[in-house]
Amino acid sequence: MKMIVASDLERFERNVGALLQYPARAAAIFLAVAAAVALSLTVLNLPVGLVAVAAAVAVGSLLFARTKVLLIAFFVVALAIVPFVVRDQYWLRVTVTIGIYAILALGLNVIVGFAGVLDLGFIAFYGIGAYAAALLMLKCGWSFWAALPVATAAGALLGVLRGLPTLRLSGDYLAIVTLGFGEIVRLTFTNWVGLTNGPMGLRGIEAPTIGSYSLGFDAARGGYTRYYFLVLVLLALAVYVVYRVRRSRTGRALLAIRDNETAAAAMGVNLSRYKALAYALGAAFGGAAGAFFASFNLFVSPNSFVFFESAIVLCMVVVGGMGSIPGAILGAAILASFPELLRFLAEFRYLIFGALMVAVAVFRPRGLMKA
């Protein structure tokens, strides 16, 4: 551990030295950050604390590049202070929403980025987890902590059941099947009125509690702060699991399938088994994110799980970089916050959103971050 920290310190010194050696580059970075800060404060009217943290993260990412321990420690500190410097509860709620989308993007990244399997109905597992948790808490009196693993398991089980019939499909046929599955799940939520209350949705869901201590929204005690730290813990667990999977034999097999199925099969990789594992793991993340969403929103309805949501999560993975763990989180942060940042432009924000997607496809076809 000491050797790793010492090596990271050497890399940090080289990064600082490189900026000092090329003052023009350092000045350009400083001006770019300053312009972004000025734009955020004046045009977008963002909270000062949020802008300060974002600017620190941008600069820190450059200074701590290729330093694993120091970079992780820096991000942990930066994320931990967000609720204390961002006093605007609206933007704190937005950051919690970004955390939910980041978990979804990590789950879809396992299916699309690791295994190379297109999935246009991923949001169905999000809905399954949300409704499973909501029904258990409302009709059975379960707590969030008891419903969370059940919702996660429900997502994984449905992921395998949906994946098994599609193991030999690819291309347009696979896209149609996954799209159809997502719509079937949404229509089930809409029409099974006796169980799901149909389009009216399920209300009265309780926030997570630890004993008698509620983790829900409390205007007098930090607002969404406790939700923020809860989603941060869940996101950290998701990152750890995906990271371990990527570095495991299963991860290497999935990447081999993504690159060339024929070559992977010739080398002895069981395509059906590993694809089923990818479906199960990715859908489990969707179920867990859905359970948290139910307890965070305190209300679920079929309108939260439309095809547009699947498309947005897929765009997060593609924009961030397929197969990249930091890329999935970056894509979620950009695309989940973008509509809120440009809300003052009303309908034109979607035009800019589309232009951004086109620009990424043209100039960064492999995403913003490499795997």
Domain ranges of the chain: 1-87, 88-363
Residues 260-315 pLDDT 10s: 888 888 888 888 889 989 999 999 999 999 999 999 999 999 999 998 899 899 98
Give the SS3 label for residue 203. strand
Instruction: Give the pLDDT band of residue 202 (cuts 50, 70, 90).
Output: very high
Decide if pLDDT at 347 tops 60: yes
pTM: 0.93
pLDDT at 3: 64
Mean pLDDT within 116-140:
92
Mean pLDDT within 189-210:
90
Q: Which amino acid is at 138?
A: L
Top mean-pLDDT range of 36-50, 66-80, 235-249, 256-270: 235-249
User: Hey, which residues does 299 pair with through a beta bridge?
Assistant: 203
Instruction: Give the pLDDT band of residue 346 (cuts 50, 70, 90).
Output: low
* Percentage above 70 pLDDT, the chain: 98
Instruction: Give the pLDDT band of residue 125 (cuts 50, 70, 90).
Output: very high
Number of Cβ within a 10 Å radius of residue 81: 14
Give the SS3 label for residue 25. helix
pLDDT at 283: 95
Q: What is the mean pLDDT of the chain?
A: 87
Q: Which amino acid is at 74?
A: F
Cβ–Cβ < 8 Å for 369, 327 = yes
Stated length of the chain: 371
Helices (H), the chain: 2-21, 23-42, 48-63, 68-80, 82-85, 89-108, 123-139, 144-163, 171-191, 193-196, 225-246, 249-259, 261-266, 271-297, 307-320, 325-341, 348-363
pLDDT at 12: 76
Residues 349-369 pLDDT 10s: 777 777 887 888 788 888 888
Decide if pLDDT at 341 tops 90: no
Instruction: Give the pLDDT band of residue 105 (cuts 50, 70, 90).
Output: very high
Decide if pLDDT at 4 tops 70: no
pLDDT at 367: 82
Mean pLDDT within 5-16:
75
Mean pLDDT within 153-165:
91
pLDDT at 291: 95
- The answer as to CATH 1.10.3470 being correct for domain 88-363 is yes
Instruction: Give the pLDDT band of residue 11 (cuts 50, 70, 90).
Output: confident
Residues 26-58 pLDDT 10s: 788 888 888 888 888 777 788 888 888 888 888
Decide if pLDDT at 133 tops 90: yes
pLDDT at 174: 84
pLDDT at 169: 75
Give the residue carrying structure tokens 């000092």.
20
pLDDT at 27: 84
Mean pLDDT within 198-207:
90
